[in-house]
Amino acid sequence: MPSALHLPVELLYEIAGYLDGPADLSSWTRSSRAFHATLAPLLYRYVKDDPAVMCWACDEGRVDIVQRLLDAGANPNVAWIQSDSRWLTLRELHYAHCLQSQPFEGEREYHSFIRRGDYRVNFIRGLPLWIRQHIGFDRYIMDYFLEDGYSLYSHGPPASLTFPDQCYWTPLHIAVAWGNDELVNLLLDNGADINALSRHFCQCALLPDINVAPLWTPLHTAMCHGHKSTTRLLLSRGASINLTTRYGGKDNNRFTALHSACNANFLDAVLAVLDGGYQADVTVRDHNGMTPLTYAFCRGNWAIIDLLLEHGADINDELGSFNALGHACLLGYYAEALRLLDLGAIPKPYLFENRSDPIWFHLIAAAGAPDISSPRSSAQTEYRQELVVRLIEHGIGVDERAANGATALMEAASFHRADVVKALLSLGADVHLVDGPPWPTGALQKAVMLESEEVQRTPKGAMLNTVHAVLQAMEEATCSTTIGLNMGPKGIGLDEPTDVHIAKAFGLLCILPRPHEDKSKVAALLLPYKKAIDSVFEARPDLITATIMETNYDVAKLLLDRGFAPPCNIMLDMLIYEFITNDVSRGLHYMLKQFPETTPQILSSQSLFEAVDAGSGYCLEFLIRQGVSISCRNEKGDSLLFVACMSGDDSTVEVLLKNGADPDEYTQDGRLLTTVVALGQSTEMIRVFLEYGASVHSVPQASKKSPDSDMSLLDMAITNGLDEIVEEIVCHENYPTPTDEEISTHWQTLMDAPKNPAALLNSLLYSSTFDVNQIFTIPIPDDHAGNVLTTPLCLCVALNRLDDKVELIGELVSNGADIHKLLPVRPNSQNHILRPECELKYKVLCELEGTTPFGWAIENSSMRLVRIMLTTPWIYGNPQRHNTEATQTLEHGSDFMLSYAKAACRRQDPMIFSLLFKHGLDRTIQDEDSNTLVHMICDCAETFRPSGANPWALESAAEQSAFCLVACVQRGVPYQQKNKKGASGADRVLEISNYSGDCRYRRKLAEKYRLKIAFTNEPNLQLTAKCPALDDSDGEEDVFDSDDDSDDEEFFDEDFFAELNDGDANFFTWTGNDTWDDEDDESNEDEEE
């Protein structure tokens, strides 16, 4: 039998044309070797124009597949356009794999990647902003060409992005990135553009705008990925040394191969470019005016620097604002600076603002630049002093001033570099010079000012040695004269005598609140110059006061021991007040120890209240530990805890509670203090009270001073609609389990809450002690009625007089309240007679016994409420656990289907029938006497008459009943089914339609039945609706809107409810008889007349 393998190739190709796509053709080619050999070329022709296939093959290193694609006519220069960068996509895939295989380790690695900033561009890694500013890379370049700019953080599908916002690259870029020389040669041999451009393929950007990615050629890709052989291959195949497009309008400067190799820290690439003669000019500048030497210096690669210098690079060429020597002095590269000097680097001055002449900043920077926390600079700190000496030897003046007038000696003294200070002094630095206004200071003052945290952390003895060296130099030198060439800012020459320097330094030591281990020893070193100090501070008798106030206690003790006048009483009072106000407990401790006479004032109730007023928690705790009682009250009679709460400071409240204050304290007007705090809506303070055992559900000592004094904390929060406070209470770890009586109280309080009832409900449900289906008791205010059982939903339904609880009912249902929950009947409930004056709420609650909330709502509530019960999404459990949503339907209450049907029949409302049928009311349901819905509607219609108090007319009531029958007929209710008496539903309808007696309502009912229902006798009695059934859909989407249908407004008439409270039972009076009473009918006729 011939097989498909023997078919002609042309026929096989024709068959392949009917396949759905390349996937089907691929499956066919893999079915046998013969088919593969025949159909594979066709498959490659199908996919040759898809860049994803070509790029995938390059990524996988599949030279064979790339060859087949090229043979099939694939374009080697096809650009693969993406919405995200390649490097960021690969990084995210890597960490996704790590998270899947090793979740904990992968997560740590990913967060480390984000923390390090590795998702940013390569160039700036390891270069702080201020260093880039020193180098000059912070300059903003205007007028980028549109094709040269690209935002690094653009996202979205490629189709939604404009060309400048797209990422793209070619197969050659991928092959080069992997260093696959065989694949690179293959692509180049088949016409790949060796200078093709890619956008955002690699992680490299160009300064100064790091948020702009340039267009890179494959040669740059080879260098930034560190492939030596691929770099040489591309150069040998004629790759351009200009790696980007042109920047900055007409400027032809480009980022070249040498720039890229130096930036990539790639010595082999630099050698390849220079040794091969591909780029002879090593001083070429890029778009930012930088030479290759700039990038080599930034990377700190001295092998590349030496190589560039050998090929003609200028060691003194400016790298931004300064030359390499200037940058080395500023950045703390002292060993490199010495090497630059050895190589012939020359210090060049810089013209700062507010200066008429340039400044030789190198010496000042080397002596006083802050230490940089980088491995590169930290390893060169020991060469600082040597560099200072070498710079002076190169002709920089030892007293050369900075832009602010400071000298190298001042800067070295300010950082406590005693070795540098001594070196400068030995080389003739003037110790008496001061810097410029507004507060001229010299080297001695700089040493004691402790201006930064770095200086305050200098080792013990550093400050003392620096001050000692400066003092010694002052003793040996005479006061200097003004040096014209070394003027300060704006041409002001400044110097001061030794006594003034010492006095100022001593004053700064006393009044600056900056810590250092050497402060007291430095003060002792300056005290022998007391005469100079007294001459300056003789008008400052408060020197010790200022010293104590600024927490320099050791210095103050030293001054007192050396005979300085102690503070007067007024100053002592001021110190106490300042320490309390600023919460300096150590200051109070010092005062008690150093000035015992202040003990009565410090350890007083007044100090406690001052600490509470100021929110000074440390001082408050210190005073309490010293024995000051917290039970004191102020002149207004307020307690400490009350004052702390009113000030709104959580920390002082916590200190008081921790030290024994009563969390259930009462205010002077008889309210729980926690309820006052709750009204202030301070969740943090409520949390503090709960942590120390504040009562939640009960009132420890009821008081009659305030009308709400018997209200618990939780009830107060519920009453005032404070849902955040309620949530804080029920979610707290110290939340106590409430009793059944307390739960009942809380639910009743929620139902009466005028604000945010739905939000309050959700907050309560965060606690497992509140269940929307729990049954609890409510005492009826009647000695003989006892308690009534209810649920939150039943209670809410009972209170829903004017639809004011609809939102809360909907929220209850959405949180799982069971509308079909049957309330048990109390024992001997028939003997519990309610007084006439009993509230309607309790009457309704008693009526709910033995029924369900939904059953009662069908007969008595508005359509709006019934609709909400059936259509509100039901989330099982509390709102913290959002599980699968469902809708409560009648299937959930199938056990009560008959009672729901009877309730609808008693109501005689066609809208209710429409709604119930939609939600699953069984149209074949029947009662114990085999009565169908049609039977029950007819029975209820006959024993149903308008109440004397009801405003509805007889015609309206009769028409409603007729429409109920229409709904049943159109829904297919089996009206021909007979009951136990042998009467079918149709018989009962016909019987009512044929009524001709004296009852006016029955006649009206018969008339409406005949108008709405048609009768046919063959073969059996048939009923046909003459009109469409009424639909409940109107307003269905607005179930929570306060404005509802007119039917509901009439149904929920406020005056009518007042009449109900006086004894009426329903809209219509149910007589329980089969006939109307003639006297009743006559009275109705009289009333209508």
Peptide bond into 910 cis (omega under 30): no
Q: Which of 594, 587, 592 is nearest to 558 (CA)?
A: 594
Question: 């309206």: which residue's tokens?
Answer: 956
What is the biggest distance separating any 2 CA atoms in the chain, rounded to whole angstroms?
Answer: 139
Q: Which amino acid appears at position 613 of this protein?
A: D
Peptide bond into 438 cis (omega under 30): yes
Burial class (CB in 10 A: 0-12, 13-18, 19+), 1035: middle
Q: Please state the φ and ψ torsions of residue 1068, each to the nearest 5 degrees.
A: -120, 150
**How far apart, in whole angstroms, are the C-alpha atoms of residue 696 and residue 718?**
12
Q: Which of 848, 1057, 1080, 801 is nearest to 944 (CA)?
A: 1080
- The H-or-E segment that residue 570 falls in is helix 569-581
Below-70 pLDDT ranges, the chain: 1-10, 12-14, 16-21, 25, 34-40, 43, 87, 91-165, 205-213, 246-252, 352-355, 478-495, 536-541, 701-709, 781-786, 801-803, 827-842, 872-895, 944-953, 1034-1089
**Per-residue tokens: 435:** 């810097």
Strand partners, 322: 319
Could you tell me whether strands 215-216 and 885-887 are parallel, antiparallel, or unpaired per DSSP bridges? unpaired
Q: Please state the φ and ψ torsions of residue 917, each to the nearest 5 degrees.
A: -60, -40
**How far apart, in whole angstroms, are the C-alpha atoms of residue 790 and residue 823?**
7
Peptide bond into 1028 cis (omega under 30): no
**Per-residue tokens: 731:** 């979610």
**How far apart, in whole angstroms, are the C-alpha atoms of residue 826 and residue 777?**
11
Q: How many CB atoms lie within 10 A of CB 564?
A: 18
**How far apart, in whole angstroms, are the C-alpha atoms of residue 259 and residue 1054?**
87
Q: Is 1026 helix (H, G, I), strand (E, B) or coil?
A: coil
Residue 124, C-beta contacts closer than 8 angstroms, at least 6 positions apart? 132, 205, 207, 210
Q: Is residue 562 within 8 Å of residue 595, measured between CB atoms?
A: no
**Per-residue tokens: 702:** 């009821």
Burial class (CB in 10 A: 0-12, 13-18, 19+), 324: buried
DSSP H helical ranges for 828-862: 840-847, 853-860
Q: Please enumerate, as own/partner, the contacts of 533-537 that have beta carbons within 8 Å and a separation of 24 or more.
A: 533/502, 533/503, 533/506, 535/499, 535/503, 536/499, 536/500, 536/503, 536/504, 536/507, 537/503, 537/506, 537/507
Q: Which amino acid appears at position 341 of this protein?
A: L
**How far apart, in whole angstroms, are the C-alpha atoms of residue 913 and residue 1005?**
19
**How far apart, in whole angstroms, are the C-alpha atoms of residue 696 and residue 687?**
12
**How far apart, in whole angstroms, are the C-alpha atoms of residue 200 and residue 239?**
20
Q: Is the C-alpha dihedral spanning 62, 63, 64, 70 positive or negative?
A: positive
**How far apart, in whole angstroms, are the C-alpha atoms of residue 76 and residue 215?**
18
Give the gyration radius of the chain's Cα atoms: 47
**Full-model pTM:** 0.65
Q: Is the C-alpha dihedral spanning 991, 995, 1001, 1006 positive or negative?
A: positive
**Per-residue tokens: 852:** 């369900």
Crossing angle of helices 33-47 and 22-29, rounded to 10°: 160
Residue 228, C-beta contacts closer than 8 angstroms, at least 6 positions apart? 268, 269, 272
Q: Please state the φ and ψ torsions of residue 932, each to the nearest 5 degrees.
A: -85, 180
Q: Please state the φ and ψ torsions of residue 167, each to the nearest 5 degrees.
A: -100, 140
Crossing angle of helices 228-236 and 181-189, rounded to 10°: 20
- Determine the pLDDT at residue 1069: 34
- The H-or-E segment that residue 167 falls in is strand 167-169
- Determine the pLDDT at residue 1029: 85
- The H-or-E segment that residue 788 falls in is strand 787-790
Q: Is residue 498 within 8 Å of residue 531, measured between CB atoms?
A: no
**Per-residue tokens: 298:** 């930034």
Q: Is 404 left (phi over 0), alpha (psi -120 to 50) or beta?
A: alpha
Q: Is residue 868 within 8 Å of residue 813, measured between CB atoms?
A: yes
Q: Is residue 345 within 8 Å of residue 297, measured between CB atoms?
A: no
- The H-or-E segment that residue 718 falls in is helix 713-719
**Per-residue tokens: 1073:** 């008889």
Q: Which amino acid appears at position 1028 of this protein?
A: P
Q: Is residue 693 within 8 Å of residue 710, measured between CB atoms?
A: no
Crossing angle of helices 33-47 and 63-71, rounded to 10°: 70
Cα angle 881, 886, 891 (rounded to 5 degrees) comes to 135
Q: What is the CATH number of domain 86-124+161-313?
A: 1.25.40.20
What are the Cα distances from residue 108, in Å, to 102, 112, 117, 976?
10, 6, 14, 75
**How far apart, in whole angstroms, are the C-alpha atoms of residue 642 and residue 563?**
46
Strand partners, 318: 323
**How far apart, in whole angstroms, are the C-alpha atoms of residue 755 and residue 752?**
9
**How far apart, in whole angstroms, are the C-alpha atoms of residue 1071 and residue 1079?**
14
**Per-residue tokens: 87:** 């490097």
1058-1080: string of b/e by CB count within 10 Å (b at 16+)?
eebbeebeebbbeeeeeebeeee
3-state helix, strand, coil in the chain (%, to 5): 50, 5, 40
